[in-house]
Amino acid sequence: MSIIGIDVGGSGIKGAPVDLGTGQLLTERHKLLTPQPATPAAVAASAVALAHQFPAAARYGVAVPAVVKDGVTLSAANIDPAWIGYHIGELFTEALGAPVFVLNDADAAGLAEMHFGAGREERGTVVMLTLGTGIGTAVFLDGRLVPNTELGHLEVRGKEAEKRAAAQVRKNDHLSWPKWAARVSEVLDTFENLLWPDLFIIGGGVSRKADKFMPLLKCRTRVVPAALGNDAGIVGAALAAWDEP
């Protein structure tokens, strides 16, 4: 079965067909800028334009920056508020002309890492963090996902974690790697005290520069970079669509 994974972010929408035997992209991924305003209809149109770069798929998986239940988006992180309460699954299915499974973007990245990447065969409690425009999280217990965790919105020293330590914050505030790593360490410490995890996996585009900040992190939990890098959301979205009956 041919499946295309699409990862919708606050700044870009990227996708590709995925080999679900290996977790590898079957072609070079294609990327478009996220439309502004990023309304559901505008994003769906961009997803269709992206999908047209590849042969038609039998099924699509779409990862979005929102809490998703039964195809309905219940939040809107770094995207247009019109997403709240929207049946995004129906919209994408109609737009793409094929079955679509929609899930939270960090959950998608986590699924890919647990199945193919840094979390493979890991037991216990694993927390995946995607550091990008915000901070997404995915929590797993013995390999099973606890969906729609939004730990990036927890308060850390009087401010939301993602507004203190997202990768975009480092750029916007012109923080040095050591200063930003100290902020990320504060976030990890907060998560540790709540969940007592066995492993942190750090993903998002910044994971490509793991050598610049990960040795500086201070926490008691083992921390590793995402093995699939910034493709994890695409792979996980396709994997979730494949697993869906």
- Could you tell me if 134 and 10 are in contact, meaning their C-beta atoms sit under 8 angstroms apart? yes
Average pLDDT, the chain: 95
The DSSP line for 56-120 is PPSEEEEEESS-EETTEE---TTS-GGGTTEEHHHHHHHHHTS-EEEEEHHHHHHHHHHHHSTTT
Query: What mean pLDDT comes out for the span 116-138?
Result: 95
- What is the predicted pLDDT for the residue at 189? 97
Domains of the chain, residue spans: 3-107+232-243, 121-226
**pLDDT of 244:** 76
**Does pLDDT of 245 surpass 70?**
no
Task: Give 127's strand partners.
Answer: 139, 200
CATH topology of domain 121-226: Nucleotidyltransferase; domain 5 (3.30.420)
What is the predicted pLDDT for the residue at 171? 96
Residue 229 binned pLDDT confidence (cut-offs 50, 70, 90)? confident
**CB 239, CB 18: distance < 8 Å:** yes
User: pTM to 2 decimals?
Assistant: 0.94
pLDDT digits (tens, 9 = 90+) for 150-166: 999 999 999 999 999 99
Please check whether residue 143 is in contact with residue 123, taking contact to mean a CB–CB distance below 8 angstroms: yes
Measured distance CA(70)–CA(65) in Å, rounded: 15
Question: In what helix (H) or strand (E) does residue 10 lie, and over which residues does it extend?
Answer: none
Query: What architecture does CATH give domain 3-107+232-243?
Result: 2-Layer Sandwich (3.30)
